[in-house]
Structure 1
Amino acid sequence: MIFEPRFLAPPPAAVMKDRVVLCFRLDLLVACFGGSRGGGTEIATPRSEHRKPQTKPPSKMVSTKIRMFHLRSRLALIRAGTGAAILPPEVRKLGLTFAMKNTDGHMGPRKFWRNYLPRLKYHNPNVDMQVHRDRESGGDAMLVIEFDGGKTETIDVKHKHENDIVRAVLESTKAKPVPTSEEDAEIVAQYELYKVRMEEQLKINKRKRAERRAEKSAIGGIGRPA
């Protein structure tokens, strides 16, 4: 007997349309309720409910008012004070050389660099000012002033106070001091008063910590930590 292969006839178009609609609706139900076709349906829980609530640490940023107060004070201290002077146009360059360590007479040049040289640079932006710090201690500390035409003048600043150094620079260059404005004078006075209050508060905090340590040691180490 010879068997002839038989092919199943495709279902009618209406049946195919119903199957497609049924599959689409099942997928829609699964997507909405988070279930599966074989395991039933279940309501999906939002992911946000599984997460633990995140608590942000308290902000440690200083207020804008305090930061602006410090910025205005620093700018006023640069604009006004000893060393705030305008150098004559023939001065071309200032070169300061001292050691990185403050020993052996290099403390004065270091303080001149930190406190007075920024004021000179603020009022004389066109004058080149260079600072070289040697790693070897005990060397020379020199301040070289360069004028037009290649003329130079060297000042030995080793073992000198910073006030004496800035006075020597102003005398050698014949610079004109810049008068302090009323606004800068008021800002500087407020800043100095603020520094005094902060130093007093630091002393109070230090005394309180010492009292807590003494109290803790008196009761055998039981008490509040210092």
Structure 2
Amino acid sequence: MVNMLKRMRKLRELLWIRNGPGAIQLPKEVTKISVEFHKKLIGSQHRGARHFWHDILPRIKYRNPTLPISVIRHADPAGPAYLNIYTSTPTPQTSTTPPPSTTTAPEALNDTPTHTIEIKDLHESEILEALVEKTGAVVLRTPPEEAAEMAEIEEFKERAEVDRVEVREKLMKVRREEELLKLARGEISAQE
């Protein structure tokens, strides 16, 4: 069984999915989000779209679990890069009779997006700003306790990297000394 402290640290690192850029609550009218971009990173045209897909979309999905999100990666490097937002438009009530049934299920998805944002050559933060602007999403702030916990995790990672370098240097020093001893004893030749 893995050390309990190691497991706790790994679980605490999952805070990144709850906080940070992309931790937004989308309105109920948004029924689907679709992202389209090139599947390989050639040049910097699709870099923002790829970073948006990799870093920000998981947070959006975490905060909006019922929202379908589709990612289309095409093979044409000169191809388009779009963020499509599908919304349900509430129909105005013209009659005085109540609706036949009140359900919480989203309406049928439209085939055409309500908003299309060209995301080629945009930074992932600009893409997120455009999404929030078009949908009217609520940006969720990080609670102070989780912010402190995230700072503690970052501090731990920095200390771990310093410790890793020190241990590597000590290990290399020990190996060099062992090789010099073997060379002095004549167990290995100087050419090896």
Partner of 1:66 in structure 2? 6
Matched, 1:90 2:52: no
Cα 1:125–1:211 change in 2 (3 A) is same
Deviation for aligned residue 1:208 = 5.4
Compared with structure 1, are the counterparts of its residues 164 and 68 closer, same or farther at alpha carbon in structure 2 (3 Å cutoff)? same
One-letter identity of the residue aligned with 1:173: T
Deviates more, 1:78-87 or 1:141-150: 141-150
| Residues in 2 aligned to 1:210 and 1:137: alpha-carbon distance in whole angstroms | 45
Q: Runs (4+) of structure 1 moved beyond 3 Å?
A: 135-138, 201-223
Please tell me whether residue 179 in structure 1 is matched to residue 119 in structure 2: no
Structure-2 change in CA distance of 1:221 and 1:94 (3 Å)? farther
Contact 1:97/1:142 (<8 A) preserved: yes
- Provide the C-alpha distance between the structure 2 equivalents of 1:221 and 1:143, rounded to a whole number of angstroms: 64
> Partner residue of 2:74?
134
1:81–1:217 Cα change, 3 Å: same
Instruction: Please say if residues 85 and 175 of structure 1, whose CA atoms lie closer than 8 Å, have aligned partners that are also in contact.
Output: yes
Percent identity among equivalent residues? Answer: 36
Q: Where does the alignment leave 5 or more consecutive residues of structure 1 unmatched?
A: 1-60
Partner residue of 1:113 out of 53, 59, 64:
53
Hey, what's the Cα distance between the residues in 2 that align with 1:148 and 1:62? Answer: 48
Name structure 2 gaps, 5 residues minimum.
Answer: 90-111
Asked whether the 8 Å contact 2:84–2:113 carries over to 1, the reply is no
Q: Which whole-Å CA distance do the structure 2 matches of 1:209 and 1:159 have between them?
A: 46
Over alpha carbons, which structure has the higher Rg? Answer: 1
* CA pair 194-214 structure 1, distance change in 2 beyond 3 A: same
Deviation at 1:189, TM superposition (A): 1.1
- What do the CA deviations read for 1:190-218 (whole angstroms, capped 9, x no partner)? 11112222333344455557767887999
What is the SS of the residue equivalent to 1:160?
Answer: coil
Name the stretch that deviates more: 202-211 or 169-178. 202-211
Q: Please provide the CA RMSD for this pair.
A: 2.8
- With normalisation by structure 2, the TM-score equals 0.70
Aligned to 1:139, what secondary structure does the other structure show?
coil
1:68-126 deviation per Cα after TM superposition (whole angstroms, max 9, x unaligned):
2211221x211111211111111111101122212222221111112111111111112
> 1:164 offset after TM fit, Å?
1.4
Question: Higher helix proportion, which one?
Answer: 1
- Asked if the contact 1:73–1:187 (Cα under 8 Å) also holds between the matched residues in 2, the reply is no
